[in-house]
Structure 1
């Protein structure tokens, strides 16, 4: 990719179509040939990249990269010559959504002819790039996984910062809507496993997503589910830092965060997993509170009101005391970790091989893993007015 994210092409999705190899001889080693595939591997490019006309010849004459180690500067120059880091490399097609700081477009890459999502972040002259954008870039360029959305490119101009992502057809909320809020339970299992798989990868790298919700889980027509919108994500350092409690959309926010806790770890994401699992299974949100107080009321009514025995220190929590909740029965349970959840007997029917796949390999690479047809799925997502409903790319208000 262009700019400073040189490694972001590493896990870009490849195409079934591989261009026939074009070979040229290196000037300093006339007996040795290089091909498109050689350059793709050397620069960590997708297999279906379309190198500009004459680039191979120019590459062999001016940039004999195979004769010496590849420096960051040389890699950046090479990627720029191909077309990465340039707005003209991408064609805007449709506007998908607009937030406070960013507008997202559906686009097409001239380098691969694949669809992409262009997240255009407006840069204020005095304030520069929003911290959420910087955070999203710094985390995503190091997260390479089949169940995490791929950041293909970064384009930095005086007026905007454009993040180029792989394009997926819809988010989980839209998938639910298209199914009439009734997803086939086998597909629920596959989506849940992929969510846990992506999260486990993040958690192993000490990264907390902190904003899990159906709108931030993207799904393509193959059934691959990918975590998106890392604008609120944080790298959790050791020892524990203090974090903001203004994270996670209300319906998917755990009670400890709702009560003001700023000392949390991976369990913040696992609460959201449980809420999303329920919503996929039933077609309705588990705790649809409109305020913090109402959200806690819904949680305690179902799980029980905590006491000093089940939640040490809760009786001295000022917010908890001020709400004066009824004494529902409470059963305190430690939240399961993503890695442990992936090995739960619920997933036994998927087989053992699914647990040993390489990080960048889709679960659908296994022949025995297939999405079931949704009986209530609408082939075309139409609104009541008859117009096609546009896909809404995930964007929080801070992105």
Structure 2
């Protein structure tokens, strides 16, 4: 009997890799072209260790969460799962100076995507500029890399805190809180906001202690008055005493409404941090044409 004329094309052969746009703990992301359709996609290759049988839980979690959240235009759409996941999206947000109206549009889309995740009981837990994909032509933003995302329930489960990227990590996580919720993502969104405006990380710490000290120098060393319960957190120590500085010192080219929204995102007390949904209603976005976003 003759062999069939068609042979299965391997997942990698079906795509032409164009450039690497990011690399995380769990794999590399490439901008790629699907040969059959010409469609530009983000192709995520996940490493499998030789001793692993089957797909790692982080990959399974990302796939299942993407399947659930893919209806939202600001979350990457899962097209298919082969020897990795290829996801719609074009290029990682990079560090060039972004015009103020574009920052506003991207921030609105980010808040909308995060609100959608939170509305479906999902924490991202690793929001950072490299996990944001942007189509440069349409300026559409999508949230990617949900490998560390977790469903949260009420009462909120305890989470380990080693996994978040340091520069965007919320102070309650740095201080050892294991009961945290959507507010950790909002802190990250605030850090991203400042970075989109200035091109520089707001709190570029190289250790957990240095990260806290960066935050305290700008926002003031927290105490029981401004953050009830802070001194009971597991990693709390006596820290140098700094007074709060004006956010306009750190982010000088942001207007008053933007600075107010940023301050709402960087509240010390997690319960006082603005929600993603409320952030979308902030006056900062009043002059934005939200149609189509």
TM over 0.5: yes
The answer for the alignment partner of 1:191 in structure 2 is 106
Instruction: Verify: 1:338 aligned to 2:257, yes or no.
Output: no
Given the alignment, which residue of 246, 254, 258 partners 2:162? 246
Structure 2 unaligned residues grouped into runs of 5+:
1-7, 245-266
The answer for the alignment partner of 2:65 in structure 1 is 139
Q: Scaled by the length of structure 1, what TM-score is found? A: 0.60
CA deviations over 1:45-76 (Å, ceiling 9, x no partner): xxxxxxxxxxxxxxxxxxxxxxxxxxxxxxxx
The answer for the alignment partner of 1:203 in structure 2 is 118
Partner Cα separation in structure 1 for residue 112 and residue 84 of structure 2: 28
**1:207-246 alignment runs, 5 A limit:** 207-221=122-136, 222-246=138-162
Say if 1:101 and 1:121, in contact at 8 Å, map to a contact too.
yes
Say if 2:16 and 2:35, in contact at 8 Å, map to a contact too.
no
Q: Scaled by the length of structure 2, what TM-score is found? A: 0.80
**1:316-331 alignment runs, 5 A limit:** 316-321=232-237, 324-329=238-243
| RMSD over aligned Cα atoms | 2.4
CA deviations over 1:133-155 (Å, ceiling 9, x no partner): 11110100111211111110011
Given the alignment, which residue of 162, 176, 183 partners 2:84? 162
The aligned length equals 259
1:118 CA displacement: 2.4
Say if 2:177 and 2:233, in contact at 8 Å, map to a contact too.
no
Q: Secondary structure at the residue paired with 1:226?
A: strand
Structure with greater contact order relative to length (CA < 8 Å, sep ≥ 6)? 1
The answer for the alignment partner of 2:261 in structure 1 is none
Partner Cα separation in structure 2 for residue 300 and residue 269 of structure 1: 19
User: Structure 1 residues 94, 283: CA separation in 2 closer, same or farther (over 3 Å shift)?
Assistant: closer
Partner Cα separation in structure 2 for residue 277 and residue 88 of structure 1: 35
Say if 1:89 and 1:111, in contact at 8 Å, map to a contact too.
no
* Structure of greater Rg: 1
**1:240-389 alignment runs, 5 A limit:** 240-321=156-237, 324-329=238-243, 332=268, 334-351=272-289, 354=290, 362-363=292-293
The answer for the alignment partner of 1:90 in structure 2 is 14
Partner Cα separation in structure 2 for residue 332 and residue 145 of structure 1: 30
The answer for the alignment partner of 2:41 in structure 1 is 116
